[in-house]
Amino acid sequence: MIRRPVAQNSKKIAVSGMAEQHREYSLELQTQIARTYGLEANFKKAHEILDSVEKT
């Protein structure tokens, strides 16, 4: 059996990169949702969402 640690390491890097992209997308989406609450003058809800984004 031939071990391929480089390939395994590459997979770990790819997975961590996807996780980071997912995290960034999620945070961006939350800010856009907060924006819609702001446009509806529901500022309390908008600030709650933005506060949760800021903490991450």
**1-56 pLDDT per residue, tens:** 555 555 555 556 566 667 678 888 889 999 999 999 999 999 999 999 999 998 76
d(CA 30, CA 43): 14
Count the neighbouring beta carbons within 10 Å of the beta carbon of residue 9: 10
DSSP 6-51: HHHHHHHHHHHHHHHHHHHHHHHHHHHHHHHHHHTT-HHHHHHHHH
Q: Which two tokens stand for residue 13?
A: 């890097």
Each residue's pLDDT tens digit, 9-24: 555 656 666 767 888 8
What pLDDT is attached to residue 23?
86
Q: Which two tokens stand for residue 18?
A: 């996807």
d(CA 4, CA 11): 11
